Structure formats: structure tokens, C-alpha cells
Structure 1
Amino acid sequence: MFKDILLVGVGSFVGGSLRMVISKYVQLAIAGSFPLGTMVVNVLGCFLIGIFASLPSDNGGISPAVRLLLTTGFCGGFTTFSTFMNENVGIIKGGDGLTTSALYVFASLALGFLAVLAGRQLVISLR
């Protein structure tokens, strides 16, 4: 368990650091207020987790430890959006269907948005 925590921690550190660099670079290179840097990171993270989650684990493929480092660690630190999207693919592939996946997407986005608003309102009301 401790080894897994270290693998995820190292991957998260690298992924989070790279997220900051890429996001800032893209945002500085493109004028405007649209958060293109974050969008680029999210889409790139989805692409990478698709690759990492699909790599074979048998006959010379990657070990479960390397998969954990790359998916939960690196991609999780790079962007949790990639994990969110990968989980949706898993829901569909697992047989739970498009309806369950759509419900997960909608509920996550709606509740996440409301939670951000609630957190902001809490801070404003405490001032």
C-alpha cells in the first residue's frame, strides 16, 4: 500500500507540475479570457489516459504499478478530468450503459458547479 501511495504521489507531482507549465504557456501564447490552457490540458490528459489505460499488462506489457503511476498518479495530477472521462468509458464498457454514463456526467458537472458556487458564497458571507 505504501508503495502505491508513493507511486501516485510521484506521478501526481510530475503531472500537476506539467499541467501548470502547459496551461500557463498556452494561456500566455493565446490572447483572450477563454481558458484555453485548461482545455488543452484536459483534452491532452484524456488522450494520455486513453493510451495508458489501454496498454497491455500481459506478455511484456506494463505492470500494475506502472499503470497506477501513469493513470492515477500522472494523469490524476495532470487533470482529474481525464480520470472522470475514463470512468465514463468504463461505465459504458462495463455494461451499465449510456444512460448511467450521461447521469454521471450531468450530476458531476451540475453538483460540481453548485459546490463551487456554494463555497464561494460561504467565503463571501463570512467576510
Structure 2
Amino acid sequence: MKNDKDQKEKCVNAIAVFIGGGLGSLVRYLLSILFSSGAGAFPISTLISNVISSLILGLVFSFVPTNIKSQSPFYLFCAIGFCGGFSTFSSFSLENFILFKNDGYYLLFFNIVLNIICCFICIILGYKIGKWI
């Protein structure tokens, strides 16, 4: 009987990650349309999605007790699924390469520093807000 329960739980968890990832990817796509920028321009949509994803991840991390994070469908939906689909490290890296290739060294430096600092601050902020709520 326990095996059936474990299988059902794994299925629910996989579905939570799948749906969260799809929603995160969709929101990321819509954001890229809303804030589209050409090659060599500052990639604002990536910065926005990374910062918002970091804030959400900090909030979720503060809500779910450490001992059940990997088993919680809510955590898996939000953190692994939605934030995984919404945040964009590979896009961030590609956009940095494009800035580098186009000799946009100042924008490249600004983009890297801003993403790292803003995302780290938003993780802290989200965590503190979650603990305050």
C-alpha cells in the first residue's frame, strides 16, 4: 500500500513541476514580448524575470519548512517549476555573449552586476517578507 502512495505522490510532484514550469515559461515569453529589445540593447526582460523569480523563490523558501521542501507539491510547483521556467540563466548568458560580441562591454558589465546584485537582494527580501507574513 505504501508503494502506491509513494507512486501517487511522485506523480503529483511531477505534475506540479510540469505545470509550474509551463506557466513560468509562458510568463517569461509574455514578458519578453512586452519588453522586447533588439540585439545589442540592454536585455531588460531577462533582468525583470530573474529579479521577480528571485523574489518569489525567497518567499516560497520562507514558507515551506526545510524538512519537507523536496516533498511539497507547492514548493515543487513554485520553486522548481515556475521559477525554473521563469528565470533565465541560459538567456542571461546568451544575451551577455551578444553584448560581448557587439563590443557592448559597459552594458555587459552592467547587466552581470545588476542581475547578480538585484537577484540576491530579492532572495533576501522575499525571505524576509515571507517570515514577516
Normalising by structure 1, we get a TM-score of 0.52
Offset, 1:80: 5.3
SS of the equivalent of 1:27 reads: coil
Matches within 5 A, 1:107-118: none
Determine if the alignment matches structure 1 residue 11 to structure 2 residue 45. Answer: no
Paired residue for 1:24?
33
Rounded Cα–Cα distance in structure 1 between residues aligned with 2:16 and 2:88: 17
**Native 8 Å contact 2:64 2:75 kept in 1:** no
Question: Partner letter of residue 19 of structure 2?
Answer: V
Offset, 1:24: 2.0
Determine if the alignment matches structure 1 residue 35 to structure 2 residue 43. Answer: yes
**What is the percent sequence identity of the aligned residues?**
31
Matches within 5 A, 1:67-106: 67-79=75-87, 81=89
Runs of 4+ in 1 over 3 A off after TM superposition: none
User: Which residue of 45, 49, 67 maps to 2:53?
Assistant: 45
Rounded Cα–Cα distance in structure 1 between residues aligned with 2:14 and 2:64: 23
Unmatched runs of 5 consecutive residues or more in structure 2: 1-9, 66-70, 98-133
RMSD: 2.7
Normalising by structure 2, we get a TM-score of 0.50
Unmatched runs of 5 consecutive residues or more in structure 1: 58-62, 82-108, 114-127
Paired residue for 1:85?
none
Count of aligned positions = 77
